[in-house]
Amino acid sequence: MSLPNEQIEYSRKDLSPKVRQIGLLLFALGLIIAVAAYLTEPIRASFMNLVLLMFLLSVGLGSLFFVALEYLAGAVWSTPYRRIIEIFAATLFVLPIVALPVYFNIHDLFHWTHLDGVSKDIALSSKSGYLNVPFFTVRIIAFFLVWILFYSLLTRNSRKQDAIKDQLLTKKNIKISAVFMPFFALTVTFSAIDWMMSLEPHWFSTIFGVYYFSGTVLAALSVATVAIILLNKNGYLVKGIISDHYYSLGALLFAFINFWAYIAFSQFLLIWYANLPEETFWFLSRWENGWMFFTIGLAFVHFLVPYFGLLSQPSKMNPNRLLFMSVWILVAHFYDLYWLIMPTFSKGEFVFGWMEIGFILLGFGILVLIFVVFSKNKNLVPVGDPKLKRGIDFRL
Amino acid sequence: MKDKILFGYTGLFDTPDSIINAAKKASEEGYKKFDINTPYPVHGMNKAMKLPPSKLGYASLVFGLSGTISALLFMYWTSVLDYPIVIGGKPFFALPAFVPIMFEVTVLSAAIATVLTMIIVYFKFPNISHPLHDTDYMRKVSSDKYGICIQADDELFDESKVQLFLKELNAQSIAPVYFDDEETENKPSAFDKKFIALLAVVAIIVSGSTYILLNKVVYSVPFNWMMNQNKISPQQSNAFFSDGFGMRNPVEETISRGNLPYQFKNKPEEAGLLLANPLAFTEENINLGRNKFDIYCSPCHGYFGNGDSRLRGQFPNPPSLHSEKVRNWKDGNIFHVITEGQNIMPSYSSQLTRQERWAVVLYIRALQRAQNAKESDIQ
């Protein structure tokens, strides 16, 4: 059943120890600042911890979505670097550790956990069938288990294929991906609702899950693009990844930049038009008391700059420019999550300081370390995949 | 028979790889005017033929952005300068509301202008039919062969050299292609009589059938012109009455059911003295009053009667309802103002029934009491 993948020029190389050092440095710096933040301002720190959690969830879950999407769509252009996306999907494993501090501070974050407040509030008490601590706990554990289950199924088959080169494993993974997709749609929506929308339990937006989904895909894609460009430059990947591949990654980033803007604007426009006080307060708390410039900045950082940065063909084909834009988008996703979460913590004034920078460093450090740990003793290219040759030969 | 004019030399290949190779060789050789014909798009051909990236994108960008800007300026002109109307309490220059339209106009103008530009740039129609049409070569590259055609107007073109070049590439059925005399001699004109006649016939058929379909065949319920109904509209004349007016006054000495005339027209003092609130201070009546007050009164008077209008200064603010004067008014005086209007406040007798007006009076009393509570209320 094996396919002629003999022409493929790939030999496994161990990652340079520099990468691990950089990862450890970022992680250690971030961790020290985070701990210091918890000691000085625990509530603010747990809000930032929530931002970090959602950021890592975006990368992990988005990557898993991408792996499944490649199988389902039968895409070949992304096969040569699918393993890298699989490795980043392992971010899902650190989520419980990152979520624990948030979970222990749940009373500081989520108003609906205060039963005395809920009982006096008709809106909240009628929502309490969904928003209550036991059900919340069950949900986050169940979601986590679902993700780990599908992660293990998909990546195990993919890795097995490296050794035995069995085409049927691809078919199996296609089926697993098809089952995963509805679970993905539900879990990403309800994760966004549980962790972020319920910060303001009176507020509701039916598009919120899609909004978070668009950011999820962007985060996963930009992390993968950064890793692919850097690894390919230093010869860790299979020979033959060229500007046509970069172009496709860039085009998808560009598409989802537009998708995000479309969704974000749809959410804003309806609320702005209807002008109902139970909906507008959410945007007002992101507009008043110094948050206005941060909100206007979101449109620039998350849409206009990457839009024009990725608009032309050369900007997607040139690895250096694409690398810059990918890092930009990754930071923009952090910006977006900060905008979603932090105004709930500080309605009175805009906040940004050393604590926030620490959590950003921590997030990037975790991503680098995850790549270092999960890429150990692994092929960085799915050498047994029947689509690999076609993926390398992919031309626009 | 006179000499035919040579268009170019063609050669056929069996595989996509060999045609890519041929395209590479031809461009390396320095040929510029050659074309590749394949049954389906072959990836990597642009590079092999050394085709520069299309400049069409710049046209799209320019036309798209000019669409965005002209949509914005047009909406600014219509809704801010020429005919400002308050819509939904939004400012005249309501940018979020403009964005979807700007987006649509961008897409529309970019798409249409790009297609038009492409047609203008690429189709400079020297002939009605391309010389390659209806040749064996074209028949083959439309089914299973991959063909190259090196044109005679290329600077490097030399019949024997091109033949040799194609032979070296192992091309099959190398053959010259000539211009068709009939085609080259009959240049098409956009103002050809036959063409104009055809356009006219097509236009008449399309518009005529559309008209018949919409107005005669599909003349169904949603299309039955709801404006034209068999009744008298306001201001319409009617021949039935001798004076010709469609709108009638009530018959003298009668009143319509439920429509008691108001006895205190232009007599506010008497209304204050003689009228008493028939409604009791019950929760039901207060709720009715609040409901109506919030709908009809609060836009100008504010939710609590403080005179804090929500109309952004587009209508003068009324004085507070908590003034000494209004608090000392009798219920009948307030009722009178609601019924008759006062200064620039219009009458609300057509919006509010008598009972509702009295309920509003009750609610205003409740508001006044809430802000100027007596000592005894606290106990």
CATH of residue B334's domain is: 1.10.760.10
One-letter amino acid identity for B108?
L
Residue from A100, A55, A125, A128 nearest A361 by CA: A55
Is the minimum CB–CB distance between A395 and chain B shorter than 8 Å?
yes
Task: Note whether B129 and B194 are same-domain residues.
Answer: no
B193 contacts: CB under 8 Å, gap ≥ 6: none
- Are A19 and A184 contacting, i.e. CB atoms less than 8 angstroms apart? no
Output the pLDDT for position B99: 92
Examine the domain organization and report whether B167 and B32 are in the same domain.
Answer: yes
Q: Name residue B149's beta-bridge partners.
A: B10, B35
Q: Is the pLDDT of residue A176 over 60?
A: yes
A277 touches chain B (CB under 8 A): no
The pLDDT of residue A187 is above 60: yes
Residues B16 and B92 in one domain: yes
CB contact under 8 A, A313 and B53: yes
Same-domain check for residues B183 and B48: yes
Closest Cβ–Cβ partner in A275, A313, A395 for B89: A275
Out of B188, B209, B230, pick the residue that ends a domain.
Answer: B188
- Is B65 in the A-facing interface, judged by CB distances under 8 Å? no
Contact A269 B97 (CB under 8 A): yes
Cβ within 8 Å of B, A 305-334: 311-313
The distance in angstroms from the start CA to the end CA of chain B is 123
Cβ A269–B96 below 8 Å, yes or no?
yes
* In a shared domain, residues B193 and B152: no
How many folded domains does chain A comprise? Answer: 1
In the predicted model, is pLDDT for residue A375 greater than 50?
yes
Q: Which of B159, B188, B217 is the last residue of a domain?
A: B188
Residue A1 located in a structural domain: no
Specify the pLDDT at position A7: 66
Contacts of A268 in chain B (CB under 8 A): 96
Quickly state the pLDDT bin for A250 (edges 50, 70, 90). Answer: very high
Q: Is the pLDDT of residue B329 over 90?
A: no
The answer to whether residue B3 sits within a structural domain is: yes
Residue B262 belongs to a domain: no
Is residue B187 scored above 70 in pLDDT? no
Strand partners, A77: none
Q: Is residue B281, in this structure, part of any structural domain at all?
A: yes
pLDDT tens digits, one per residue of B236-289: 888 888 888 888 887 888 887 877 778 888 888 888 888 888 888 889 999 999
Residue A9 lies in a domain: no
Assess if residue A234 is contained within a domain: yes
Q: Provide ipTM, 2 decimals.
A: 0.78
In a domain, A375, yes or no: yes
Q: With left for phi above 0 and alpha for psi between -120 and 50, is residue A275 left, alpha or beta? A: left
Which of the listed residues B164, B188, B212 is the one where a domain comes to its end? B188
Residue A240 C-alpha, separation from nearest chain B C-alpha, in angstroms:
14
Which A positions 194-253 lie with beta carbon below 8 A of chain B? none
Provide the domain limits for residue B211. Answer: 189-248
| Residue closest to A82 by CA, chosen among A70, A65, A72, A91 | A70
Amino acid, single-letter form, for residue A214: S
In this structure, is residue B201 part of a structural domain? yes
Q: Burial, B357: exposed, middle or buried (Cβ in 10 Å; 0-12, 13-18, 19+)?
A: buried
Mark whether B128 and B31 lie in a shared domain. Answer: yes
Q: B320-346 b/e with 16+ CB inside 10 Å = b?
A: bbbeeebeebbbbbbbbbbbbeeeeee
Residue A327 corresponds to which tokens in the numbers above? 């890092």
* Token pair 């933040």 in the structure block, residue: A37
Using the Cβ of B53 and the Cβ atoms of chain A, whether some distance falls under 8 Å is answered with: yes
Interface A:B, Cβ pairs < 8 A: 21
Of A272, A312, A313, which is closest to B96 when you measure between CB atoms?
A272
Distance between B55 CA and the closest CA of chain A, angstroms: 11
> Nearest CA of chain A to the CA of B236: how many Å?
38
For residue B254, is it within any domain?
no
Whether pLDDT at A209 is above 90 = yes
- What residues in B contact A275, CB-CB < 8 Å? 88-89
* Residue A278 to chain B, least CA–CA distance (Å): 17
Q: B117 and B165 in one domain?
A: yes
Q: What percent of chain A has pLDDT over 70?
A: 98
Q: State mean pLDDT over B139-144.
A: 88
Which residues, numbered 68 to 127 in chain B, qualify as contacts with chain A under a Cβ-Cβ cut-off of 8 Å?
88-89, 96-97, 99-100
Is the pLDDT at A103 greater than 80, yes or no? yes
B222 and A CB contact within 8 Å: no
Domain contains A7: no
Is residue A2 situated within a structural domain? no
Residues B35, B127: one domain? yes
**Stretch A229-238: mean pLDDT:** 87
Question: Which of A269, A273, A396 faces B88 most closely, judged by CB atoms?
Answer: A273
Tell me what the pLDDT averaged over chain A comes to: 89
| The predicted structure's pLDDT at residue B1 | 45
Contact A355, A43 (CB under 8 A): no
Count of CB atoms within 10 A of residue A52's CB?
A: 25
**B17 domain-assigned:** yes
State the residue range of the domain holding A24.
17-392
A265 in reach of chain B (CB within 8 A)? yes
Helix then strand then coil, % of chain B, to nearest 5: 50, 10, 45
Q: Minimal Cα–Cα distance from A218 to chain B, Å? A: 22
Res. A2: pLDDT tops 70 = no
Clarify whether residues B176 and B28 are in a common domain. yes
CB contact under 8 A, A265 and B99: yes
| Nearest CA distance, B146 vs chain A (angstrom) | 19
- Residue B2's pLDDT band, with cuts at 50, 70 and 90, is low
Cross-chain residue pair A273–B43, CB shorter than 8 Å: no
* Segment A114-121 long-range contacts (CB within 8 Å, at least 24 positions apart): none
Residues B24 and B142 in one domain: yes
pLDDT score of B126? 63
Among B20, B40, B42, B43, pick the best mutation site for testing chain A contact (most A Cβ within 10 A).
Answer: B43
Report pLDDT for A143: 94
Residue A11 placed within a domain: no
Look at residue A55 in the predicted model and tell me its pLDDT.
94
Closest CA relative to residue A169, chosen from A178, A179, A181, A159: A159
The reply to whether B255 falls in a domain is no
* Closest-CA residue to B262 (of B251, B247, B252, B274): B274
- A268 Cβ under 8 Å from any chain B Cβ: yes
pLDDT range class, residue A229, cuts 50, 70, 90? very high
Is residue B127 a part of any domain in this protein? yes
B5 and B86 together in one domain:
yes
Highest mean pLDDT among B92-96, B121-125, B373-377: B92-96
> Nearest-CA distance from B262 to chain A in Å?
39
In this structure, the answer to whether residues B168 and B202 fall within a common structural domain is: no
Task: Count the domains in chain B.
Answer: 3
